[in-house]
Amino acid sequence: MKNKILNLCLIAVLIYACKNEDADLTSTQATQDHLFAEQTFSDVGRTVKEAFLENGVNKSCVSYSLKNDNTLDIDTLIINFGAINCLQNGKLRKGKVVITYSGKYSDSLTVITTTFDNYYVNNNLIQGESVLTNQGRNIDGNMWFNVLVNNSSIITKNGTINWSTNRKEEWVSGLSTYGNISDDIYNITGLANGIGINNNSFSVDITDTLKVELGCLPSCIIKSGTAKISPNGYSDRIINYGNSFCDCNFNITIDGTKYPIVLN
């Protein structure tokens, strides 16, 4: 009788372990962490671009200060959201974004480096460095940029996301209306990698060009495209960025099965 009970308990433990293993193998944690980091630094990119259009002008809770205004060397632009949370572009912000730049945003070979000084978005601390280099125009006549995000981290209430990327951003629409960000469209290709809040590493490869529309903010701005994310120890996940709506709904395919994700 004791052996029978022990056997039943062993079977129950094995079934429970298998269920947990299956649930773990379909985890979307790395995908969620990548999408959140990508969204965060897309927001940084728009914030920087707005600053180049509006520096020296107070807007809502943000102020801009320009230092070393000399076209012959590197200048510094500080975006200051203050010490208390304020609402800007649909997100709570505080702290400073510090930009050094060698020329205008639209000038070929301009290098724009962005760092952060106690900068929070929706109470998440943003750290690291983003370097944007204007590469001029390609054979299609479109301006394009190389964007590097180096050694970045996003400290959330659930843990820390470390994230880096090397990507190409092609400005395919909106250049003729330079002062109006809302009609800007970019095509994005490239790679990324990171370590999620569960301390597991992952790599990302954009497999079908991402279409970014800045007019979608404060929602998610990537409206279409696909990427492959490869978490360490797991099978590849395929991210489908949506159906051309300005939302934060994604479909993630894991071993042929689709899982929906809604990014907050």
Are 248 and 219 in contact, with CB atoms under 8 Å apart? yes
pTM of the model: 0.87
Average pLDDT, consecutive stretches of 10 residues, N- to C-terminus, the chain (264 residues): 44 38 71 95 91 62 79 83 92 96 92 97 97 96 96 96 98 89 94 96 97 83 94 95 81 93 84
Neighbours of 257 (CB within 10 A): 8
Angle formed at CA 50 by CA 182 and CA 102, multiple of 5 degrees: 130
**Both tokens assigned to 210:** 């991402």
Domains of the chain, by residue range, sit at 28-262
Long-range contacts of 114-117 (CB under 8 A, 24+ apart): 114/44, 114/48
What's the rounded Cα separation, in Å, for the pair 116 and 29? 26
